[in-house]
Amino acid sequence: MQKAYINVLYDLMQKDRNVVSLLSDSGTDYDFMLARDFPAQCFNFGVAEQNQVAAASGMAALGKIPFVYTTGAFIVYRAYEFLRNDVCFQKRNVKFVGVGMGMGMGSWSTLGASHHATEDISALRAIPNLILLSAATPIELQNCVRAAYDINGPVYIRMGMAGEEELYDESYDYQFGKISQLLSGRDFTLFATGTIVADALKAAKQLTEDGISINLNNIHALKPIDKNGIIEAAKDSKKIFTVEEHNIYGGLGSIIAEIIAEAGIAAPLVKIGLDDCFAKGYGKTSEIRRLNGIDENGIYKRIACECISRER
């Protein structure tokens, strides 16, 4: 995803000299290309995320369009007050790119829960004026970045860092704020967000082969949320599932619960994710997902058990 991000940011910086890149010693090899070609538009603040966010607010006040790129866990938890007060409270035109969504920093095998962003949806969706996006694939990320550029106001983009596979091609009809159906089914509905969508899709395909009809939807925009699309997808379901690489409290599962409750949808809801705990274990993202029961196999087993129980 990093290469996809830099490619689209390069294009934006080339066509609009007000677009600036802000790092905190968290860039990639691709960033050298930006610093080489746009030296006046690149800034590295070192390990000082609060200063990075505060500076971004000041730059935006002067007409710049800062893209603040750093580890998601640090920008959300360490610089939360600055993000809230300096940017969102004043509706500054700043774009945040939090790398390593969920347990995505697990591509660095020695890093654990301190580097996970598994409560960021809960923390960020409560802040007024902030748009919250969660990209599942590199192509979707590029679309999210372009959409963020077109928006005049604060945007936060959750980005993966574990060699995410592509589920779409260039014909992908990205519609900002709208859910994307990846699998059509009639009996059960599954909503997922972020890079774990790939695991959810594999699990849903296996369930389909087992005769369990699943309607799978990718939600890239968590705020604003596509309420009408969610209601339409869920209204006739026997049971509704959510999958997220996040605490099930305050995340996607809670968002879906609010929507279906307000819409009067009576189908039971099953939330699959971290059950009010930090992720256990160390290793690559795929390994940590497996250890915490939210990899392809874990998702499959949980949904299969729930669906079989429902049929009985």
pTM of the model: 0.95
Q: What is the pLDDT, as a whole number, of residue 312?
A: 42
Determine what percent of the chain is predicted with pLDDT higher than 70: 96
Q: Which CATH superfamily is domain 2-159 in?
A: Thiamin diphosphate (ThDP)-binding fold, Pyr/PP domains (3.40.50.970)
Each residue of 237-259: pLDDT tens digit?
A: 999 999 999 999 999 999 999 99
Q: What is the pLDDT, as a whole number, of residue 28?
A: 65
**CATH architecture entry for 180-311:** 3-Layer(aba) Sandwich (3.40)
In this predicted structure, the answer to whether residue 105 has a pLDDT above a threshold of 80 is: no
Each residue of 12-45: pLDDT tens digit?
A: 999 999 999 999 887 666 778 888 999 999 999 9
Using an 8 Å Cβ cutoff, are 117 and 101 in contact? yes
- Nearest CA to 248 among 112, 73, 121, 158? 121
- Two structure tokens written together for 158: 């959750």
Domain boundaries, the chain: 2-159, 180-311
Sequence-distant (6+) residues with CB within 8 A of 178 are 221, 226, 229
Beta strand 269-274 pairing with 239-247: parallel
Across 10-14, 103-107, 166-170, 183-187, the highest mean pLDDT is recorded for 10-14
In this predicted structure, the answer to whether residue 106 has a pLDDT above a threshold of 90 is: no
Number of Cβ atoms within 10 Å of the Cβ of 175? 14
Q: Give the span between the Cα atoms of 77 and 72, in whole angstroms.
A: 8
Does 2-159 match 180-311 in CATH topology?
Answer: yes
In this predicted structure, the answer to whether residue 57 has a pLDDT above a threshold of 70 is: yes
pLDDT-based confidence at residue 131 (cuts at 50, 70, 90): very high
Using an 8 Å Cβ cutoff, are 91 and 65 in contact? no
Asked which of 23-32, 97-106, 198-207, 230-239 is least confident by mean pLDDT, the reply is 23-32
Each residue of 253-297: pLDDT tens digit?
A: 999 999 999 999 999 999 999 999 999 988 889 999 999 999 999
Q: What is the pLDDT, as a whole number, of residue 25?
A: 82
Label residue 137 left, alpha or beta by phi (over 0 means left) and psi (-120 to 50 means alpha).
beta
Q: What is the pLDDT, as a whole number, of residue 133?
A: 98
Mean pLDDT of 39-52: 94
Whether the ω angle into residue 39 lies within 30 degrees of 0, i.e. cis, is: no
In this predicted structure, the answer to whether residue 122 has a pLDDT above a threshold of 90 is: yes
In this predicted structure, the answer to whether residue 108 has a pLDDT above a threshold of 60 is: no
Each residue of 12-21: pLDDT tens digit?
A: 999 999 999 9
Q: What is the dihedral angle through the alpha carbons of 249, 141, 99, 74, rounded to the nearest 10 degrees? A: -60
Using an 8 Å Cβ cutoff, are 31 and 6 in contact? yes
Beta bridge partners of 239: 188
Task: Write b or e for each residue in 51-67: b if 16 or more Cβ atoms lie within 10 A of its Cβ, otherwise e.
Answer: ebbbbbbebbeeebbbb
